[in-house]
Amino acid sequence: MKSWAQVYIPPIDSDIPFPQLSLYNSATESNESLPKKSFYQMYVCGITPYDATHLGHAATYITFDLINRYLRATGAQVDFVQNITDIDDPLFERAKRDNVDWSELATSQIELFRGDMVDLHIIPPKDYIGVVEAIPMIIESISKIKTSAPTYVVDSDLYFEVHSDSDFGKRSHLSDPEMLEIFAQRGGDPSRVGKRDPLDVLLWLHQREGEPGWDSPFGKGRPGWHIECSAIALHYLDDGLDKQYSIDIQGGGSDLIFPHHEMSAAQSKAISGKEFARSYVHTGMIGLDGEKMSKSKGNLLFVSKMVNEGISPMAIRLALIAQHYSVDRMWTQSLLDDAVELLEKLTIALSREEVAPTKPVIVEMINALSNNLDTSTALEALSSWSDKTLEGSMGGEAGELSRAIDSLLGIAI
């Protein structure tokens, strides 16, 4: 599927050292430095295109964009792939509710999403893949699982035995009762009669009335949610060179830790024989006015609507990185006001002929980002540099700092 427009990334002075990027790996529950490599593979789970792009989506994709930017700034290549879950129950349910064709609804939301990503300066993925176009590779992946791991059929639907993966559950650190509860809440079917284990996951669903279906060796139907990402990630990213991991980074919101990323990893391991990702990185949820932002509460804030109302996408980006990516946090008017204020202060300071020394603040920013994307420390450094400049400090080069802010934080001033 067509990705979105390329974002310009200015160069950073080559003599500035970059520490190895350390990220919190939720599978090992610790901060780990990524190994030094000349290229990295990153897969970030995309949207289900019925409701794009709310602030929670934006916060997630900005976070992985920061990782992408940091790794590129070190001189490495980043192969970044993202999917679009354009076959899934929530999409069909929304299309039915609104009496629209599901594929037209998906097309319109994907277009909206692309525009939002451009506005937010997110570097586009190398491959942006919809499930509809990935059906052949998904069928191939399921066929591989059928030969390497136990699967079975319940009323013409094909299931994978998740506990055949000896590491099942180790990535999400949940007990079986916890998994069962979350599985039921997030699209799973633990109580379906005929399943060998309530947590077993659907690989292929036979065609239901009013839903699309594709021919396959498992009957006419459609894939389950989790196998979509396993198949796309392995097809586009695993070059077979690394014998231990298929990819470096699996990313998404913390609501994907279970079941989505646990199930995708278990299936992927059945296909490739390797652990799926070196590092599982998850972003916190964005709430509004003290409440969780969700479609059921109807309190989602959409990027396109905010931008249409005149809010600068750069201010949205800055506000979303003002606090740490991994924590659940609230969106408030004062958060946005502070971001607008900092953006204005930086713009004024950077337009001065004489500015405070810039090398030290760039180094501070790089060091903070290398430490599990400590964006608040990076922004504090920029705020204090602006204050010093406005107080008359001299000796810096504004262009150098402006390029570094754009390159590393994705904020063009």
One-letter identity of residue 332? T
Catalogue the E-assigned strands of 239-350: 245-253, 275-283, 286-288, 291-292, 329-331
Q: Which is nearer to Zn ion, 221 or 253 (CB)?
A: 253
* Helix (H) or strand (E) run with residue 151 in it: strand 151-154
Quote the least distance from Cβ 225 to Zn ion, whole Å: 8
Q: Which is nearer to Zn ion, 283 or 323 (CB)?
A: 283
The single residue listed with the structure tokens 């964009």 is 65
Quote the least distance from Cβ 236 to Zn ion, whole Å: 13
Q: Which is nearer to Zn ion, 47 or 404 (CB)?
A: 47
CA distances from 96 to 195, 209, 210, 225, 378 (A): 28, 12, 9, 19, 46
Quote the least distance from Cβ 45 to Zn ion, whole Å: 3
Quote the least distance from Cβ 125 to Zn ion, whole Å: 13
Q: Which is nearer to Zn ion, 45 or 174 (CB)?
A: 45
- The closest alpha carbon to 262, from 149, 372, 176, belongs to 176
Q: Which is nearer to Zn ion, 45 or 201 (CB)?
A: 45
Q: Name every residue whose Cβ is closer than 8 Å to that of residue 39 and which is 6 or more positions away in sequence.
A: 76, 77, 78, 79
| Binding-site ranges for Zn ion (CB under 5 A) | 45, 229
Q: 322 — phi, psi (to 5°)?
A: -65, -30
Quote the least distance from Cβ 376 to Zn ion, whole Å: 28
Quote the least distance from Cβ 264 to Zn ion, whole Å: 6
The single residue listed with the structure tokens 């809440």 is 185
Q: Which is nearer to Zn ion, 267 or 372 (CB)?
A: 267
Quote the least distance from Cβ 93 to Zn ion, whole Å: 19
Q: Which pair of structure tokens corresponds to residue 37? A: 């490599």
Strands 157-160, 22-25: parallel, antiparallel or unpaired by DSSP?
Answer: unpaired
- Note whether 277 and 250 are within 8 A (CB): yes
Q: Which is nearer to Zn ion, 45 or 293 (CB)?
A: 45
